[in-house]
Structure 1
Amino acid sequence: MAYRDEKLDEEKVFKDPVHRYIHVRDRVIWDLIGAREFQRLRRIKQLGTTYLTFHGAEHSRFNHSLGVYEIVRRIIENFREEPFWNDDERLLCLCAALLHDLGHGPFSHSFEKVFDLDHEDFTRKIILGDTQINAILKRVDPQFPQNVADVIHKTYFNKLVVSLISSQIDADRMDYLQRDAYFTGVSYGHFDMERILRVMRPKEDQMVIKESGMHAVEDYIMSRYQMYWQVYFHPVTRSAEVILSKILHRAKELYFANDFQFKLKPRHFESFFEQEVSLDDYLKLDENVVFYYFHIWQEEDDEILADLCRRFVDRDLFKYIEFDPADQYQQLIELKESFIQAGVDPTYYLEVDSSSDLPYDFYRPGEEEERLPIHLQLPSGELKELSRQSEIVESISGKKRTDHKLYFAKDLIDQLPDNDVSKQRIYDILKG
C-alpha cells in the first residue's frame, strides 16, 4: 500500500477539552505529530503573554494545531459526496491544517516584531527544509511538501483547499476562538460550530454557507469581534507584551555595546541579534529557553535589563491610560522630556501601543486574498455576500476599530520626591 493511503492498525484519539476527541487514522498524520518540529509546538503558548491576564491561558500551539486538523477532518467527511469536492485533496488539506502554525516562535507576534521575522516564512522553511517533517511529507510524493507549503502560503491553485484553513470563516479561526475562550474562561468565543459544519458546502473556489445557517455565522462573527477586544487586545496582556519587547530590545542593545559583557552569554539569541537566523537556531529557541534567560538576566549588571526581566517574571507590569498619539503628539514629546529629567529612560519605560481589528469585510478589489467575503447559498443556488443578507454583520462590516494606550512605569515616577518638578509635570500631562 502506498504511504499516502496507509492507515494505522487502529484509530488513535486525543482527548480534547474543546472537540471531545481528535481522531487520527492516517499513518502520515500520526508520523507528522510525532516529528520533533511538531512536538516543539508544545513549548510555544498559543496566546503568548495572555496567561498573565487570564491565568488559564497556558494552552499551546500544539493543542490548537490538533484542533484545526480535527475541524478540517470533519469538514472533509461532510464534503465527500458533494460536487466540486475532489477527495484526492483530502490528505493535503489534513496536513496543511495540522502544520499551519509550525513556524511560530516564542511569544509569537511580539517576538516577530522585535526581530523582524515572519512565522509563515519559518513554517515554509520547516516544511521544505532538512527536517523530519519534510522527510515524512516527501514519502507521500516529492512534490507534496511544496503543495502543503503552498496551501499554507495561500498560493495553491485550488482556492477551495486554501479556504479551509485561511478565509473569513475557516478551521483555524473556528478552533482558536473556542479554544481560547475555554482556556481563558470567558463566554465570548462560543458559537454553534456543529451547525456551521453541517451547512458548509464546497464551491469552485471557496466554501459557502447555506442560507439556513446564517444565524450561526452571525454568532461566529460576533464571537470573533468580542474575543479580540475582550481577550486578544486586553490592556494587561499588551502591557506584558510591551515589557517583553523592551527586554529583547535592551538585550540586543547590550549585545552590541563595547563596554558590556553578559554574565551568561546569550548564545541562543546571537543569530537573532545579528539578523542571521538559521532554521536550526530558530527551532532551538522556544519559550522555556527564553524564560531561562529572563530569570538569569535579573542578575545582570545592567539595571534596566535586570529590572525589565524582574517585572516580566514577577508580573509587575506597566500602568496604562487612554492616549491617542495623533491627537496628543505634543504631550508625548513633553512626557519623554519629563521622563529624561526625572532620570527615567523613556525608551524603556514609556510606550504608546495601538491595536486594531476588522471583524468582517466585504470584497474589495486589490485587497489581500483572505478578505474574500463569506457567501450564503440561497435555496435557488444563487450566492449572496453575507453582509447583504445579515443586518447584524452589515452593521460592523468594513469598520476597522483601533485602540491606543500609553504604558508607563508608574512606580518609578511615584518614588520621586513630591517636590520634584518633573514628577509634577508628568502627572499633569497624564491627567490631561
Structure 2
Amino acid sequence: MPYRDEQLTEEKVFKDPVHRYIHVRDRVIWDLVGTAEFQRLRRVKQLGTTNLTFHGAEHSRFNHSLGVYEIVRRILENFRDQPEWDPSERLVCLCAALLHDLGHGPFSHSFEKVFDLDHEEFTRAIILGDTEVNAVLRRVDEGFPQDVADVINKTYANKLVVSLISSQIDADRMDYLQRDAYFTGVSYGYFDMERILRVMRPLEDQLVIKESGMHAVEDYIMSRYQMYWQVYFHPVTRSAEVILTKILHRAMHLYHSEKYQFSLKPLHFESFFNKEISVEDYLKLDENIVYYYFQIWQEEEDEILANLCRRFVNRDLFKYIEFDPGNRYRELIELKEAFAEAGIDPTYYLEVDSSSDLPYDFYRPGEEEERLPIHLLFPNGELKELSRLSDIVEAISGKKRTDHKLYFPKDLIEQLPEESQAKKRILEILRG
C-alpha cells in the first residue's frame, strides 16, 4: 500500500478538552505529529503573554494545531458524498491543517514585530527545508511538501482547500475561539460548531453555509467579536507585550553596542539580532529558552534591561490610561521630554499601543485586501452574502473599532522627588 494511503493498525486518539477526542488513522499524520519540529510547538504558547492576565491560558500551539486538524477531519467526513468535493485532496487538507502554525516563534506576534519576521514564511521554510517534517511529506510524493506549503500560503490551485484553513469561517478560527475561551475561562468564544459543520457545503472554489445555519454563523461572528475585545486585546496582556518588546529591543541595542558585555551572552538571539536567521536557529528558540535568558538578565549590569526583565518575570507590569495619540500628540511629545528630564528613558518606559479589529468585513472592489464573504446557500441553489440577510452581522460589517492605550511605569514616576517639575508635568498630563 502506498504511504499516502497507509492506515494505522489501530486508531490513535488524543484526549482533548475542546473536541473530546482527536482521531488519527493516517500513518502520515501520526508520523508528522512525532517530528521534532511539530513537538517544538508544545514549547510555544498559543496566546503569548495572555497567561499573565488569564492564568489558565497556558495552552500551546501544539494543542491548537491538533484541534484544527480534527475540525478539518470532521468537515471532510461530512464532505465525503458531496459531488463538488474531490476526495484526492483529503490528505493535503489534513497535513496543511496540522502544520499551519509550524513556524510560530516564542510569544508569536510580539516576537515577529520586533525582528520583522513572518511566521508563515518560516512555516513554509520548515516544510520545504531539511527537516523531519519535510522527510515525512516527501515519502508521500516529492512534490507533496510544496502542495502543503501552497495551501498554507493560499496559493494552492484548489481554493476550496485553502478556504478550509483560511477564510472568514475556517477550521483555524473555529478551534482557537473555542480553545482560547476554554483556557481563559471566559464564555464569549462558544458557538454551535457542530451545527456549522453540519451545514457547511463545498461549492466550486469556496465553502458555503446552508441558509438554515445562518443563526449559528451569527453566533460565531459575535463570539469572534467578543473574544477580540475581552481577551485578545486585553490591556493587561498588551502591557506585558509592551515590556516583552522593550526587553528584546534593549538586548538588541546592547548587543550592537561595542562597549557592553553581557553576563550571559545571548547566543540564541545572535542570528535574530544580526537579521541572519536560518531555519535551524529559528527552531532552537522557544519560550523556555527566552524565559531562561530573561531570568538571568534580571542581574545584568544594564539597569534598563535588568528592570524590564524583573518586571516581565515577576508580572510587575506597566499601568495604562486611555490616550489617543492623534488628538494628544503635543502632550505625548511633552510627556517624552518630561520623562527624559526625570531620568526615565521614554524609549523603554513610555509606549502608545493601539488595537483594532474588523469582526466581519467582506470584500469590496478597490480595497487592498480581499476578504471573501460568507455565502448562504438556499434550496434553489441561490447564494446570498451573509450580511444582506443578517441584521446582526450587517450592524458590525466593515465597522473598525480601535482602542488606544498609553503604557508607563507608575512606580518609577511615584519615586521621583515631590519637588520635581518633571514629575508634576508628567502627572498633569497623565491625569488628562
| Bin of the TM-score, shorter chain as denominator length | over 0.9
Cα contact 2:360–2:398 (8 A) shared by 1: yes
Question: Partners of 1:244 and 1:34 in 2: how far apart?
Answer: 31
Matches within 5 A, 1:187-226: 187-226=187-226
Find the counterpart in structure 1 of residue 296 from structure 2.
Answer: 296
Cα contact 2:112–2:119 (8 A) shared by 1: yes
Is 1:378 equivalent to 2:378 in the alignment? yes
Alpha-carbon distance, 1:336 to partner: 0.2
Find the counterpart in structure 1 of residue 365 from structure 2.
Answer: 365
Cα contact 2:134–2:145 (8 A) shared by 1: yes
Count the aligned residue pairs: 432
For 2:299, the aligned partner's letter is: E
Cα contact 2:160–2:204 (8 A) shared by 1: yes
Question: Partners of 1:327 and 1:122 in 2: how far apart?
Answer: 39
Question: Partners of 1:21 and 1:332 in 2: how far apart?
Answer: 52
Matches within 5 A, 1:140-155: 140-155=140-155
Question: Partners of 1:338 and 1:368 in 2: how far apart?
Answer: 40
Find the counterpart in structure 2 of residue 94 from structure 1.
Answer: 94
SS in 1 for 2:24: strand
Alpha-carbon distance, 1:370 to partner: 6.0
Is 1:77 equivalent to 2:71 in the alignment? no
Find the counterpart in structure 2 of residue 160 from structure 1.
Answer: 160
Question: Partners of 1:368 and 1:31 in 2: how far apart?
Answer: 40
Alpha-carbon distance, 1:431 to partner: 1.1
Q: Deviations over 1:333-374 (max 9, x none)?
A: 000000011110000000000111110012223546661000
Alpha-carbon distance, 1:399 to partner: 0.9
Cα contact 2:299–2:306 (8 A) shared by 1: yes
Question: Partners of 1:115 and 1:272 in 2: how far apart?
Answer: 7
Question: Partners of 1:284 and 1:69 in 2: how far apart?
Answer: 25
Find the counterpart in structure 1 of residue 248 from structure 2.
Answer: 248
Q: Taking structure 1 as the reference length, what is the TM-score of the superposition?
A: 0.99
Cα contact 1:167–1:370 (8 A) shared by 2: no
List gaps (5 residues or longer) in structure 1: none
Find the counterpart in structure 1 of residue 413 from structure 2.
Answer: 413
For 1:275, the aligned partner's letter is: K
Cα contact 2:239–2:407 (8 A) shared by 1: yes
Find the counterpart in structure 2 of residue 183 from structure 1.
Answer: 183
Matches within 5 A, 1:20-39: 20-39=20-39
Q: 1:300 to 1:307 in 2, by over 3 A?
A: same
- When the two chains are superposed, the root-mean-square deviation of aligned CA atoms in Å is 0.8
Question: Partners of 1:333 and 1:103 in 2: how far apart?
Answer: 38
Cα contact 1:166–1:370 (8 A) shared by 2: no
Q: 1:345 to 1:369 in 2, by over 3 A?
A: closer
Question: Partners of 2:363 and 2:240 in 1: how far apart?
Answer: 35
Cα contact 1:374–1:386 (8 A) shared by 2: yes
Find the counterpart in structure 1 of residue 41 from structure 2.
Answer: 41
Question: Partners of 2:369 and 2:415 in 1: how far apart?
Answer: 51
Question: Partners of 2:352 and 2:346 in 1: how far apart?
Answer: 11
For 1:431, the aligned partner's letter is: R
For 1:24, the aligned partner's letter is: V
For 2:34, the aligned partner's letter is: G
Find the counterpart in structure 2 of residue 398 from structure 1.
Answer: 398
- Identical positions, percent: 82
SS in 2 for 1:371: coil
SS in 2 for 1:14: strand
Q: Deviations over 1:311-338 (max 9, x none)?
A: 0000000000000011100000000000
Find the counterpart in structure 1 of residue 424 from structure 2.
Answer: 424
For 1:338, the aligned partner's letter is: A
Q: Deviations over 1:373-402 (max 9, x none)?
A: 000001211000000010000000011111
Question: Partners of 1:255 and 1:369 in 2: how far apart?
Answer: 38
Structure 1 runs of 4+ with >4 Å offset: 366-370
For 2:318, the aligned partner's letter is: F
Find the counterpart in structure 1 of residue 119 from structure 2.
Answer: 119
Q: Deviations over 1:71-111 (max 9, x none)?
A: 00000000010121000000000000000000000000000
Q: Taking structure 2 as the reference length, what is the TM-score of the superposition?
A: 0.99
Find the counterpart in structure 1 of residue 346 from structure 2.
Answer: 346
